Chains A and B, each alone.
Chain A
Amino acid sequence: MKKQTVLLLAAVAMLLLFAGGAWWYQNWQAEKASALARENSPTLVPDHAITLGPASARVTIVEFFDPACETCAVFHKHVHDLMAADPQRIRLVLRYAPFHQGSRAVVKILEAARRQDKYWETLELLFASQNHWASHHKAKAELVWPLLSQVGVDVERLRADTNDPALSALVRQDLLDAAKLGIRKTPGFLVNGKPLTSFGLPQLQQLVQSEIDARY
């Protein structure tokens, strides 16, 4: 055998080993995530979580997100499109996984805005202005405050509400549940308790569609 052949065969063998290992690991992780979601299904939709869509919907998307996460901003639009296509059958439950530095303060602003019935407007504003207040993986809540008047919230009241320990407790609970469910990246989706194990829009659409087909 020629040396070139040996080298080439060794390289191909190692790459195959890598690909096979990756395939095996991902399957193993997907199985683990499904098992974790089954075990922890009662923690998926707590009373404190904000929801969108009819309560009678038989397909529930639980999304763990971080307002400072760029992919979350992109997927926020995708999820809206998904729901708009089938408004009676899909319900969205938003949970927090503020993994970015400084993100928890922004989540508290969002939850305080919810007390003034401005949750969705504030969320849109946060995502639209994300590259202003969240850059280089650091969220700066102080840059969010001047923007809030745009959505018509009472900023003084909001500021007082963000100091409520109940909001810290809410964020802690969501982070705890995210850890239990093995969510390490955002956005993390579970549809009717089934985790989205391979991330991507087509995969999410497929998972939602399969749940719609199963329940309707």
Chain B
Amino acid sequence: MTDPSVDADAFDTNWLILFGVWLMACAATLGSLFFSEVMDFPPCSLCWYQRIFMYPMVLVLGAGLVPFDGKAIRYALPLAVGGWLTAFYHTLLYEGIIPESAAPCSQGVSCSEDYSELLGFLSIPLLSLLAFTAMVAALLVLYKRLDK
């Protein structure tokens, strides 16, 4: 077994964590496109803000993977945190914890409109919140590991 720091092709844990976050960004990006382009759910304005945070991470993290560059975290983390905050707000709105009148909705699509909840409880805003939470957490873990 060779030292992973020497072998450029080794799939060390750090690389795999970043790869995992990239996979999540890809899944979320394609998933949101599936909802809007294939299933014809019109994205509300809050969905668009979350997309603005999510989509660039596919490219930023992708670039940080070949070759592995821990600095990618510095660029991806602000996006993930921004997306998480938006998703958190959106989930509160969707679950009715914040009144809808406080929502910055336009273009005729309400941010709290009820779409079929996929697995019974998983709404689209909650899916987004879960994805951003996992991504922020994984990026922070990786940041700590690299900081050592």
Contacts and interface: CB of A to CB of B under 8 A. Distances in A.
B15 interface: yes
Contacts of A6: 11, 19
Contact of A3 (B30, B34, B68): B68
Nearest to A2: B9
Nearest to B37: A22
A184 B30 contact: no
Interface stretch (A10-18, A44-52, A171-179): A10-18
Contacts of A14: 23, 26-27, 30
Interface stretch (B59-67, B79-87, B111-119, B122-130): B59-67
B104 interface: no
Interface string A6-41: 110011001101100110011000000000000000
Interface in B51-72: 62, 65-68
Interface in B9-38: 9, 11, 15, 19, 22-23, 26-27, 30, 33-34, 37-38
A185 interface: yes
A67 B22 CA distance: 45
Interface residues of B, number: 22
Dominant secondary structure at the A interface? helix
Interface in A170-216: 184-185
Contact of A21 (B26, B34, B40, B65): B34
Interface of A: 2-4, 6-7, 10-11, 14-15, 17-18, 21-22, 25-26, 101, 137, 184-185
| Those 5 A-B pairs whose CB atoms lie nearest each other, nearest first | A22-B38, A18-B30, A4-B66, A14-B26, A3-B66
Interface of B: 9, 11, 15, 19, 22-23, 26-27, 30, 33-34, 37-40, 62, 65-68, 107-108
